[in-house]
Structure 1
Amino acid sequence: MIKSILTGTGLAAITCFTACNQGQKQPDANASSTLDAVAANVDSTVNPTQDFFDYANGGWIKRNPIPAEYSSWGIGNLVQEELYKRLRIINEKAVENPTDPISKKIAAFWTSGMDSVRINQDGIKPIEADLKAIDAITTIPQLVQVASKLNITTGAFCSLYIAQDAKNSDVIAVQLAQGGLGLPNRDYYFNTDARTTNIRNAYPGHVAKMLQFVGYDSTAAKKAAAGIIQLETSLAKNSRKLEALRDPEANYHKMAVTQLNKIAGNINWNEFIKQQGINKFADTIIVGQPEFYSNLSNAVKSQPLQTWKDYLKWNLINSASQHLSDTIANTDFAFYGTLLKGQDKQKPRWKRVLDAEESAMGEALGQLFVKEFFNTTAKKRYENLVEEIRTELKIRIEHLDWMSDSTKQKALYKLSKITKKVGYPDKWKDFTAMDIKEQSYHQNIEAAHQWWQNYQINKLGKPVDRNEWDMTPQTYNAYYNPSNNEIVLPAGIFTVPGKRDEELDDAIVYGYAGASTIGHEITHGFDDEGRQFDAAGNLKSWWTKDDEKKFNERAAVMVKQFNNYVVVDTLRINGKATLGENIADLGGILLGWEAFKKTDQYKKNEKIAGYTPSQRYFMGYSLGWLGHTKKESLARQVLTDVHSPAKFRVNGPFSDVDAFYEVYSVKPGDGMYRPDSTRVRIW
């Protein structure tokens, strides 16, 4: 993954692994900008040898402040702005003339989401039935039953999902992971820095405000919030840290459900799973973090039943808030949007509805998107580029001086078996059974949740569909899935706002798409996590012990490098948690560069807009990270994201690339300089 963490498809819980406009006016989707895609972004007051990110992107950043409704603003937002306009037109046309089942669903979803009058009048009416179910709980078995049903849409209690077995990729399995927290992750409950402490101190007050919407008076709400925080803190205490979650072997515990009942016996797991609608599955389950479930079981017995009921109501209103009245949605936003991310105001309703629709049935919209905006010529260009990048990694593996021949042969075999998916699926999902119709907005959201739940459940006991996509074509992102040994590259990731694909010179394409996307994703198959999966997608060691030791020693150099980068306040990048993404960034840059050197543009060495092809390559890569982020969101990213902030995804790996030193004449004493002995050398 490169632009964001992928945690699921649509509304289902699935595990996956892993320029532009110069003013406030958004680029015209139907006309080309006359500005050069990279030269127009440069800040000429910055020396590229001191801070390349600020040099390559600083001009654009100065002219494009972050809008009030966003916590960051950059190229991904520019792509999304074009998508918003296109998708709004699709929705409005569907409302005017719903000609088929899909357009009727699109029209119904859009209409219900845009009906603010009804949404505000309904208040908490859409969740009243669930609130009554919680009120009716009088025993632990009833608690578990209701918690399981609510877990599908709220994520309360824990994280249950259906995905490939990491050690047997031909099998779909029921899996459990830690979860159930209202703050972004466990560190928010314990870190002592001023920014995190301020958020933690504000959290009880926010929970109390939300509880008042579901009938608590102020005194009862304050008391209930205190109990909820105490409960969540106990769950957080036994939740693993971000970096610990990146060890696939340590987070894999296949066991019989009877064994899970032994280590977490206060919960009837057979019943919990059944309440999710899962009636047919093997008698085994894969548990990521057993200690979390032992603690959850203890809490079910030791915590007062009323505290659990308060906790379930909090999770219900918290998860539903953005689909309820403006008053509720704005209260939710004040905490999660403003305090945690630095956003000053909500996106307009129409954009929020489109975001929800993208999660609900984005692939249906994607069918319309690719017909108009990603032609067969563009698809072929990037399919060819994948093979060029694959060839360069093959050459680099063959010439590694630190890896044994036996491991090299297995690495080369795995590389040859990586499947590429470019642009859009060959087969589209069928959303016919999704019960989107003329009903409340919240009901349509719930219907989408249930459809995705059923969609995942229906995979159990069937062959793995390795042709499935876990992103929509219009997504500005990409991913590597180790269980399928595949790279998935949606059409949206190749978009440069305001430019048609044929207008982009190879230098930009090889940096922007070849390095930051294709090379990045291929390298994920050989990063600290991906390298533990074999060519068939199974978690299985294929390295010699000596080669593994050498890899870890070289990776440790990168951990140390990124641990030293201060992002905001005193918060530093977590080098271990971000290691996989940092390795993939560096690998992508090296592979893209080697492939670009074989192009006619590189060989002719003719300047465009005053820059050499080599300079434009590094500028093209930097274009992929064009943008800036508010401090609140940066602080959150450092604690919760396995990706380094954008600036360090440019400056960090560039300082390890010898070709960058040659192109820009980087010397000792320059900000981008690292002594040769401390540069990362892996792939």
Structure 2
Amino acid sequence: GAAAAAATTKTAKAPVLSAGIATEYIESSVRPQDDFFEYLNGKWLKNVEIPADKSSWGSFMELRENTLPQIRAIIEKAAAGNPAAATDAQRIGDFWASYMDEARLEQLGVTPLNGELAKIAAIKDKSELPAVLARLGKIGVNVPFDFGIHQDNKDSTKYVADIYQGGLGMPDRDYYLKADDAKLADVKAKYLAHIEKTLALAGDKNAAANAKAIVDFETELAKIQWTKVELRDPIKAYNKVNLTDMGKIAPNYDWATWFKTTGIEGKTDYVIVSQPTYLKGFAELSGKTSLDTWKAYLAMHLVDSYSSYLSKAFVDQRFDFYGKTLSGVTQIEPRWKRGVGVVERAQGEAVGKLYVAEHFPAERKARMETLVKNLLVAYKQSIDKLDWMSPATKKEAQAKLAKFTPKIGYPNKWKDYSALVVKRDDLVGNVMRSRVVEADRELNKLGKPIDREEWGMTPQTINAYYNPEMNEIVFPAAILQPPFFDANADDAVNYGGIGAVIGHEISHGFDDQGAQYDGDGNLRDWWSPSDHKNFKAKTKMLVEQYNAFEPLPGYHVNGELTLGENIADNSGLAIAAKAYKISLNGKKAPVINGMTGEQRLYMGWAQVWRSKMREPAQIAQVKTDPHSPGQYRANGTLKNQPGFYEAFKVKQGDKMYLAPKERVIIW
């Protein structure tokens, strides 16, 4: 039998690769030259309902939904084996059990928070606030300012604490300040009601008066906060301050106590203050705000931060505002799906390690490495041909590109969760302890060498990212499946899908923010004045193109806020198309089901962004998300690609047509 089997394998043909395009969704009544997104995805857009428990639906969400049962099985397996104490399996299993035991949570009500609520109620004097804010920040409560640890933007060999604004219960300052927008004003009124009900559930006798005081306080915070567009400027946000000089930035505030309680003191002698004017305004506002308002505000944010882990009344109240009002979702996700998320937030890599072992074949990583290599080659060739970049800057760009670190699938070194104590009957305690473990993990980086093995996303995340300070592009295992990456499909669709995502992440190194960092991850201007001028002219056109898009009447895309992502989409797809040509090695692309290689590449791009969104979620997205809505990521990007015009014979008079001088071609 063995010999016969060997003989047959010799003659077996290579598997026939599919086109990988979901042609069943094509709406043939729409011409690809008029609305490519609608043409390719029209039947899907018409027939698919957004699930009742989702604010939007599309490729990313669908993959996440398919991954959830796999992760649930992993968690339940860990929970079932009666594992030894203080192992990953015990921590995963008992955390899950503590979340799924709803009867116990009903019985407990708000009592798991009584200790923290009592500490807030016992505050006698505003001088105690800095220590209280530091402690609450550490257990994950949304306070008016907090800090994160990352690499120093101007010295990427050092970790630094970066202080930033916070403390609002709604997604953006516009929700507080745009009284002329009826929809936002309605959300604000419902937010007030949400706070009142939350306080009442927690036993506050003055819930109505306190709720009003809290919303007024947050409105004052919103006034002094920087806008989402202002927050995009890394130079403006880089303000290096010695710990002893914090009083100069924000006078009349006890910074020494805050630094001591956070644990920053003694680990570093300076911090980066991201929004100095905000901190100054905050210190003044804090002084003017009554102690009673402060106590109500802190109690409310504590409860809000832990509502999901309390009894049903709290869970429902939180969902009523953050789900129904803010996102338009009509139904809460089933308990088990939320439970998967809870376990992942606390022990993401411990779960990820098990996920990768079961669901990430080695050959997927190998094929991905080839894709990344071809994209880097395409960038290298492209830089030399750029007409807008000076020769000296091209040299710097090549040096930066050569230093890119790709990470694919999963980390080489897994996070250790042994410091986390997990009890089967103490959900709130488990969440609190896990937040403290992560806060300590971050804090302990100060003064240590940079950990280049660390990942900012778990392997089971459907996403990818570029980190300018590390100059690395990271692709978790879970995004490496259809429609992004299809192991059974011809390469064209993969270059249009994951290839353009790879290109997107690489080009973040050269977008309006990323280009301000050099190959070592330091903020340093390596462009000549003429490069800046030429680049600015191109990006100004891109800002105007996207400003014109209007997903809902009266709500336009913010071309400034979305600029970095739009540059990355534009460049990523352009480079993916070049990389696809490189991969063909001079051979002609196969025609599959009547579609040329180039056509399949652009179809691969447009099917990735297949998505729908509920109206309230769409408003929040336009206000807060640096990414454009899916339909514009698809069409807006394609309109600027010369290859798209050739592949689909787009001509003057077609709705997808832009005159050559109006097309933004960066790479």
TM-score for both structures, normalised by structure 1: 0.92
CA–CA separation in structure 2 for the residues paired with 1:553 and 1:258: 43
1:541-577 deviations in whole A, cap 9, x for unaligned? 1111121111111111101111111111211011011
Number of residues of Structure 1 aligned to a counterpart in Structure 2: 648
Shift of 1:466: 1.2
Q: What are the equivalent positions in structure 2 for 1:278-317 lying under 5 Å apart?
A: 278-317=264-303
- Residue type of the alignment partner of 2:182: A
CA–CA separation in structure 2 for the residues paired with 1:262 and 1:522: 39
CA–CA separation in structure 1 for the residues paired with 2:196 and 2:581: 60
2:255 pairs with one of 266, 269, 277: 269
**1:504 matched to which residue of 2?**
489
The answer to which of 527-536 and 45-54 deviates more is 45-54
1:241 pairs with one of 205, 210, 227: 227
Q: What are the equivalent positions in structure 2 for 1:214-253 lying under 5 Å apart?
A: 214-217=202-205, 220-253=206-239
1:429 pairs with one of 396, 408, 415: 415
Q: What are the equivalent positions in structure 2 for 1:34-45 lying under 5 Å apart?
A: 37-45=21-29
Q: What are the equivalent positions in structure 2 for 1:218-617 lying under 5 Å apart?
A: 220-496=206-482, 501-515=486-500, 517-600=501-584, 603-617=587-601
- Residue type of the alignment partner of 1:448: S
Shift of 1:500: 8.7
Match status 1:661 vs 2:645: yes
CA–CA separation in structure 2 for the residues paired with 1:528 and 1:447: 39
Taking a change above 3 Å as real, the CA distance of residues 508 and 35 of structure 1, as seen in their structure-2 partners, is closer
CA–CA separation in structure 2 for the residues paired with 1:500 and 1:534: 30
Shift of 1:175: 1.1
CA–CA separation in structure 2 for the residues paired with 1:125 and 1:525: 48
**2:60 matched to which residue of 1?**
76
**1:166 matched to which residue of 2?**
153
Q: Any idea what SS the aligned residue of 1:174 has? A: strand
Q: CA RMSD of the aligned region, Å?
A: 1.8
Match status 1:213 vs 2:213: no
- Residue type of the alignment partner of 2:65: E
Preserved contact between residue 378 and residue 501 of structure 1 (Cα < 8 Å): no
Preserved contact between residue 564 and residue 572 of structure 1 (Cα < 8 Å): yes
Shift of 1:35: 10
Preserved contact between residue 479 and residue 485 of structure 2 (Cα < 8 Å): no
Shift of 1:238: 0.9
CA–CA separation in structure 2 for the residues paired with 1:309 and 1:552: 47
- Residue type of the alignment partner of 2:574: L
Q: Any idea what SS the aligned residue of 2:551 has? A: strand
**2:9 matched to which residue of 1?**
none
Preserved contact between residue 571 and residue 635 of structure 1 (Cα < 8 Å): yes
Q: Any idea what SS the aligned residue of 2:389 has? A: coil
Match status 1:197 vs 2:182: no
Match status 1:625 vs 2:609: yes
**1:51 matched to which residue of 2?**
35
Shift of 1:604: 3.5
Match status 1:186 vs 2:173: yes
Shift of 1:372: 2.1
Preserved contact between residue 356 and residue 459 of structure 2 (Cα < 8 Å): yes
- Residue type of the alignment partner of 1:483: E
CA–CA separation in structure 1 for the residues paired with 2:421 and 2:131: 24
2:124 pairs with one of 138, 151, 155: 138
Match status 1:91 vs 2:75: yes
Taking a change above 3 Å as real, the CA distance of residues 150 and 286 of structure 1, as seen in their structure-2 partners, is same
1:156 pairs with one of 140, 143, 146: 143
Q: Any idea what SS the aligned residue of 2:271 has? A: strand
CA–CA separation in structure 2 for the residues paired with 1:97 and 1:681: 57
Shift of 1:55: 1.5
CA–CA separation in structure 1 for the residues paired with 2:34 and 2:476: 34
CA–CA separation in structure 1 for the residues paired with 2:658 and 2:203: 60
Q: Which runs of 5+ in 2 are unaligned?
A: 1-16
Preserved contact between residue 38 and residue 619 of structure 1 (Cα < 8 Å): no
Preserved contact between residue 146 and residue 166 of structure 2 (Cα < 8 Å): yes
Q: Any idea what SS the aligned residue of 1:420 has? A: strand
2:100 pairs with one of 85, 91, 114: 114
Preserved contact between residue 481 and residue 487 of structure 2 (Cα < 8 Å): no
Shift of 1:43: 2.1
1:304-326 deviations in whole A, cap 9, x for unaligned? 11110111011111111111111
Q: Any idea what SS the aligned residue of 2:147 has? A: strand
Q: Any idea what SS the aligned residue of 1:203 has? A: helix
**2:629 matched to which residue of 1?**
645
Q: Any idea what SS the aligned residue of 1:154 has? A: coil
Taking a change above 3 Å as real, the CA distance of residues 187 and 473 of structure 1, as seen in their structure-2 partners, is same
Taking a change above 3 Å as real, the CA distance of residues 680 and 35 of structure 1, as seen in their structure-2 partners, is closer
Taking a change above 3 Å as real, the CA distance of residues 143 and 482 of structure 1, as seen in their structure-2 partners, is same
Preserved contact between residue 20 and residue 490 of structure 2 (Cα < 8 Å): no
Using the aligned pairs only, state the percent identity. 40
Shift of 1:461: 0.6
Preserved contact between residue 510 and residue 593 of structure 1 (Cα < 8 Å): yes
Taking a change above 3 Å as real, the CA distance of residues 601 and 47 of structure 1, as seen in their structure-2 partners, is farther
Shift of 1:56: 1.6
Larger radius of gyration: 2
- Residue type of the alignment partner of 1:172: Y
Taking a change above 3 Å as real, the CA distance of residues 284 and 605 of structure 1, as seen in their structure-2 partners, is closer
Shift of 1:36: 5.0
Q: Any idea what SS the aligned residue of 2:240 has? A: strand
1:470-521 deviations in whole A, cap 9, x for unaligned? 1111110010000011101111112117x99431220111111101x10000
- Residue type of the alignment partner of 1:570: G
Preserved contact between residue 186 and residue 239 of structure 1 (Cα < 8 Å): yes
Q: What are the equivalent positions in structure 2 for 1:58-73 lying under 5 Å apart?
A: 58-73=42-57
**2:10 matched to which residue of 1?**
none
- Residue type of the alignment partner of 2:195: V
Q: Any idea what SS the aligned residue of 2:295 has? A: helix
CA–CA separation in structure 2 for the residues paired with 1:496 and 1:240: 39
CA–CA separation in structure 2 for the residues paired with 1:35 and 1:533: 39
Q: Any idea what SS the aligned residue of 2:582 has? A: coil
Match status 1:175 vs 2:162: yes
CA–CA separation in structure 2 for the residues paired with 1:98 and 1:474: 25
- Residue type of the alignment partner of 1:131: L
1:439-488 deviations in whole A, cap 9, x for unaligned? 32111111110110110011111000011111111110010000011101
Preserved contact between residue 602 and residue 614 of structure 1 (Cα < 8 Å): no
Preserved contact between residue 281 and residue 461 of structure 1 (Cα < 8 Å): yes
CA–CA separation in structure 1 for the residues paired with 2:359 and 2:266: 41
CA–CA separation in structure 1 for the residues paired with 2:543 and 2:73: 46
Preserved contact between residue 74 and residue 355 of structure 2 (Cα < 8 Å): no
CA–CA separation in structure 2 for the residues paired with 1:602 and 1:188: 55
**1:28 matched to which residue of 2?**
none
The answer to which of 57-66 and 362-371 deviates more is 57-66
Preserved contact between residue 177 and residue 287 of structure 1 (Cα < 8 Å): yes
